[in-house]
Structure 1
């Protein structure tokens, strides 16, 4: 009887494992998009910023990405944000040449 129960559990486990793996990888791809909800009010050191992304929803924001990979959301209306975006764009065009 114990062997019969163990065989059923193994068959069940083998049947569930591939389905769980496929669902996990598909759902994790949809979760990769990070969006801003709260905005930081502090000015960041421009030298530590390597990239940015513009966002329109759920709030209008700029998401800066630091050298360490940290993502920080700020209001696009601030003057220092516009300056930082221009400097990042200039670095990108310089590297492409």
Structure 2
């Protein structure tokens, strides 16, 4: 009976160690990346903010946050996305002044 308890304890410890290892490996991945891009322009009036994806994402992207709230990915080289980022930046500067 005692050996059964020891075996169960060792198995549990092994699972916990494996879990912490896997979690540690996944902590290096970005929190949010864009894998598909919205192609149509988003009305700037509906955008509240944006954030660029982290450099370790497989593809560069910008995530627009709308009033709904929705998070929409766009490629940062899209002309409409660049324009929207410029306008949101300008609005933020004017609001902080």
TM range (shorter): 0.5 to 0.7
Higher helix share: 1
What is aligned with 1:46?
44
**Distance (Å, rounded) in 1 between the aligned partners of 2:9 and 2:46:** 52
TM-score, normalising length from structure 1?
0.63
3-state SS of paired residue (1:30): coil
What is aligned with 1:72?
73
**Distance (Å, rounded) in 2 between the aligned partners of 1:38 and 1:94:** 32
Structure 2: 5+ residue runs without aligned partners? Answer: none
- Give runs of ≥4 in structure 1 deviating > 4 Å: 54-59
What does the per-residue CA deviation read over 1:3-60, in whole Å, with 9 as the maximum and x for residues that have no partner? 4223211133124314422430x2232222544343321111223321132788855x
TM-score, normalising length from structure 2?
0.63
RMSD over aligned Cα atoms: 3.2
* Bigger relative CO (Cα 8 Å, ≥ 6 apart): 2
3-state SS of paired residue (1:64): strand
